[in-house]
Structure 1
Amino acid sequence: MEMKQTAATSDTDRENATTNRIFTAAKSGNLDELRDHLDADSSRINATNSNGLSPLYLAVKGGSLSCVKLLVSKNADVNMMARSSLVVTGPSEDAWTLAYSECALSPFLLACRLGHQSVVEFLFYNGADLRQTSADDDRNCLSLAIMYNREDTSKFLVTHTDFDTLLVLMKTKSHDLTLGLGRRAFKTSTPMRQLIQYMPGL
């Protein structure tokens, strides 16, 4: 009996070690290592780490298109929601961005928020649910791109989304966290209103 328990524990340890290596490779953008670990055990493709993040979410967060492509080819769930604390760096960074840095997003919504354009475009054409919204403030992909000043992503979504879906994206109501105020501004807005306000030249 003791030998069986030891064997079971050993199997679990090996499985956990493989899963952790997948997370590490996805997070660091190491394509070769990620491929090797997935070839060894692809059953952990949608596993989550201690923070609730999947390998695909970590690859998107790091902006690694090659790892994102590999994970999606192995049937990673492109619409799986995860909660993550992240500090956004770039032209839109200000006090409210840093204070309001935790939210539940799918990999596609995360890519739109971070402005990883090549990842946005790949997920757009590979199963991303364009109508999915963030769990906390109900913001969709277009609203996130606008609010984080991701002009290329905003333009792509507006020009490449079919008309019916674009209407939904434009009409979705959410909290407008006004840029530059250094605090959360709770007022109801829509992506159309935000687009006019923040990107009038788009």
Structure 2
Amino acid sequence: MRFHPKLRPYLGYKFLNALFSGLSLSTIFIIYAPLEPIIYSIGGILLALGMWGVAHLYPRILNALYYVRILFWVEILPLGMIALFLLFPERYPTALLIYALYQLIFLFGSFLVRAETMVFRHKSVITLLDVTKQKGYLVGLSLSALFYFLCEQAGITAKIEQVYWLHFLLALNQLALLERLYQSVKGRSIW
């Protein structure tokens, strides 16, 4: 029997995943501010080597079960990053660890895109997934802009403080995202 996530809750997951991307895009520029440029070069080299290694695992992991398993881990990591930032904002080690964790998430990016295409296969479903993703991204960017505008109006002008408060929205979004992802595979053996 062919395994794949239930489409309706999975679409909710895709929307919330892209919403997170739109909401969080501006935060990295503030969080990463303490990092030296060489960190990005080293991180990029390690990411490329890691992605090369993951690609060599495709014969074993490029299937629906590994897709869902890896996807859950990739979506749990941002909760840790959010908690880390909320507990220790404005610290160099926080910026470095969040950068490293994002690199770990990106490590599986190509795999997740390829596996999702294989899992859902049909052009109409893939189109629906991508349209839903773009809607979520646009809503996330719009909400982010509105959030920063409202912060300014409320007298919260320090960028790090604005980003700090935005992380509470990111946490709620990530919890909802994980719930939608769970609902998409509920009742199916993935472990």
Same fold? TM cut 0.5: no
Which has a greater percent of helix?
2
TM-score tier, shorter chain, comes to: under 0.3
With a CA cutoff of 8 Å and minimum separation of 6, indicate the structure with the bigger relative contact order.
2
TM-score where L is the length of structure 2? 0.26
When the two structures are superposed, what TM-score results if normalisation uses the length of structure 1? 0.25
